[in-house]
Amino acid sequence: MPALLGTLVDPDPMVRSMAASALGRIGHASAVGPLQARLADPLVPVRFWVVEALGRIGVSAPGLRETLERMAREEEAHVRAAAQRALVRLPAPGP
């Protein structure tokens, strides 16, 4: 999985998107941090697949809920919808 995580920073946006999608299908919690770091990708398709992957993994991380709440208000409808779905899948916040 380390090689796949490394492709999240590939110069080719298609590679970054495919890596995020694959990490979401694998569903391992160790991918949350590296995926979270890609939420600011300048390209919409990459952000979409990163948010989708985080929702599939469904594990919370520090600051993730707040970031996804911000993404749920993004201008791009696909990313916004993916963020809303991801938020539903995250564990409920603690007390």
Amino acid 91: pLDDT: 82
Please tell me the pTM assigned to this model.
Answer: 0.88
**Which has the closest alpha carbon to 46: 79, 4, 88?**
79
Closest residue by Cα to residue 14 from 57, 39, 53, 43: 43
| pLDDT at 95 (0 to 100) | 64
Q: How far is CA 8 from CA 34, 56, 65, 73, 89, in A?
A: 8, 17, 21, 24, 22
Q: Are 42 and 74 in contact (CB under 8 A)?
A: no
Q: Supply the pLDDT for residue 64.
A: 84
Binned average pLDDT, 10 residues per bin, the chain of 95 residues? 91 97 92 92 95 87 85 93 91 73
